[in-house]
Amino acid sequence: MERDGSGRGASIIGPPECAAAQACQGKVYAPDYVPALPLPDCGLGDCGCRYEPARK
């Protein structure tokens, strides 16, 4: 999914050991404000995050 591809926004889904991803849990970002991956505070060597389209 592109950062701004859905038109409805997106959530970030990441591994439980990633504090940066867990801080995003439950948030829905407007298409123009979806953070880039890997997240700036990601402490993992291999980012496991992904975008999930927002549900209506």
Summarize pLDDT for 24-55 with one digit per residue, the tens: 999 999 989 999 999 998 888 888 999 999 87
More confident residue, 41 or 2: 41
- Is residue 5 assigned to a domain? no
| CB contact at 8 A, 16 and 22 | yes
Measured between alpha carbons, how far is 28 from 4 in angstroms, rounded to an integer? 12
More confident residue, 56 or 38: 38
Q: How many domains does the chain have?
A: 1
Measured between alpha carbons, how far is 4 from 53 in angstroms, rounded to an integer? 10
Q: Is the pLDDT of residue 7 over 70?
A: no
Confidence of residue 1 (pLDDT cuts 50, 70, 90): very low
Per DSSP, 29 falls in state B
Question: Residue 31 corresponds to which amino acid?
Answer: P
Please tell me the pTM assigned to this model. 0.74
- Is residue 23 assigned to a domain? yes
Range of the domain at 37: 10-53
User: Residue ranges of the alpha helices (H) in the chain?
Assistant: 19-24
Q: Is the pLDDT of residue 4 over 80?
A: no
